[in-house]
Amino acid sequence: MTFTIVFLIAFIASFGLRHWLSQRQIRYVAQHRDQVPAEFSEKITLAEHQKAADYTIAKLRLGILENGVSAIILIGFTLLGGLEVLNITLLQLLGEGITQQIALLASIAIISGLLDLPFSWYKQFHLEERFGFNRMGKKLFFADMLKGLLVGAAIGIPLLWVILTLMAKSGDLWWLWAWAVITVFSLLMQWIFPTFIAPLFNKFQALEEGALKTQIEALLKRCDFASQGLFVMDGSKRSAHGNAFFAGMGKAKRIVFFDILIEKLNPGEVEAVLAHELGHFKCKHIRKRLLVSFALSFAMFALLGWISTQVWFYTDLGVMPNLNGYNGGLALALFMLVSPVFSFFFTPLSSLASRKHEYEADGFAAEKSSAKDLISALVKLYQDNASTLTPDPIYTAFYSSHPPAPLRIANLQRFSS
């Protein structure tokens, strides 16, 4: 029962901390709802500022409800015996073996997806709709869901089969081989996703010839950056939010702009946004993040390799393992359910590193493009995406991958002066 107590303490602490942080953010944003920060007063109207506050608060309240439901589901699967019932039922239907273990993991994914469906529906067709961001029809919503399920099954089931086979047949160091497989798979996905998967969901068209393309190609030349191409993605068929991103690695690198971004920003601003994204590449942020993710997954697999052999890991979480047989899928299921409770407390470290990278990428953009244009682009994006300009400092320190708007703009103004 010792691990039960440890798990419950971590569970209550993580749930309570999530709730406290969300309530802090709600109160802080609400308190600053009626006054635009002085540095934005000439660029953002009070109505836009209030819309951003209301949108932020609405998302947080939905998140609090999701957090509560997720907590109930987790306890239901573990200490209340849901996973045990599911495991026994599938054993009776399929018998012991890898097929049963894959079915167990797939069942958990399907059950979790079904329980999450009402939240996804509400967010898309009520919350996003209410604030004018939804452009997705119900037909596309279900088409995306079906495609996602099929792609997930086509990729996930073979991968699970390999991992579970390694767990069963490669001895005590199975976790090392499994980590190697996941690492290679992650690198392959950097090529597979933009080339084969993303086009199943969106159309990607080459950026048209013209002043914008000429300006961007000049930027790429200045930055000594070679890409497979410049593409525009039809993100507007789902949402009014805009963005730009890199996809792929090595020679498969491609630059993708949301069509909304091209519509809303002028060529100089688009160039500045791209220069920021190039900054992530040139400052080796992408490589560093990959290496960190590989190191973390190595540690997690090593931990799983040890903990999966401990009977208390199962029994203290409401599950009876097969003491003389194979528990690969059961170990994976429990680990994936429980580990986020503990890893949550490390969130501020990843957030801090991400904010540092954003500042560095902004500095690169200011050097290679224009700090003034990037400021102008960011202000438009804050407006169009209804991003709050007044986040709670503690909430920001814990969660935010990007610096708060006032600090980020102030930092960029150092380069434009």
Residue for token pair 């208390």: 312
Instruction: Answer whether 399's CB lies under 8 Å from 67's CB.
Output: no
Residue of 90, 87, 89, 64 whose CA lies nearest to 77 = 87
276 known ligand binder? yes
End-to-end Cα separation, the chain, in angstroms: 62
Estimate to the nearest angstrom the gap between the alpha carbon of 405 and the chain centroid: 21
- The one catalytic residue in 277, 316, 384, 392 is 277
Packing angle of the helix pair 328-343, 46-77 (nearest 10 deg): 140
β partners of residue 231: 206, 256
Annotated active-site residue in 84, 128, 269, 362: 362
Q: Are 107 and 90 in contact (CB under 8 A)?
A: yes
Has 277 been annotated as catalytic? yes
- The separation between CA 108 and the C-alpha centre of its own chain, rounded to angstroms, equals 20
Whole-number Å distance between alpha carbons of 162 and 181? 8
**The one-letter amino acid at 23:** Q
Give one DSSP letter per residue of 118-157, joined into a string: HHHHHIIIIIHHHTT-B---HHHHHHHHHHHHHHHHHHHH
- Rounded Cα distance, 146 and 152, in Å: 10
Tokens of 387: 């991003």
CA distance 158 to 285: 31
Query: 248 in the Ramachandran plot: left (φ > 0), alpha (ψ -120 to 50) or beta?
Result: left
For residues 53 and 33, the answer to whether their CB atoms sit within 8 Å is yes
CA 255 and chain centroid, separation: 19
DSSP letters, 289-331, are HHHHHHHHHHHHHHHHHHHTT-HHHHHTTT----TTS--HHHH
CA distance 406 to 301: 40
Q: Please say if 42 is a catalytic residue.
A: no
* Residue 367 annotated as part of some ligand binding site: no
* Spatial distance between the Cα atoms of 49 and 84, rounded to a whole number of angstroms: 49
Binding positions are 276, 280, 358
Binding positions for Zn(2+) are 276, 280, 358
Q: What is the set of active-site residues? A: 277, 362
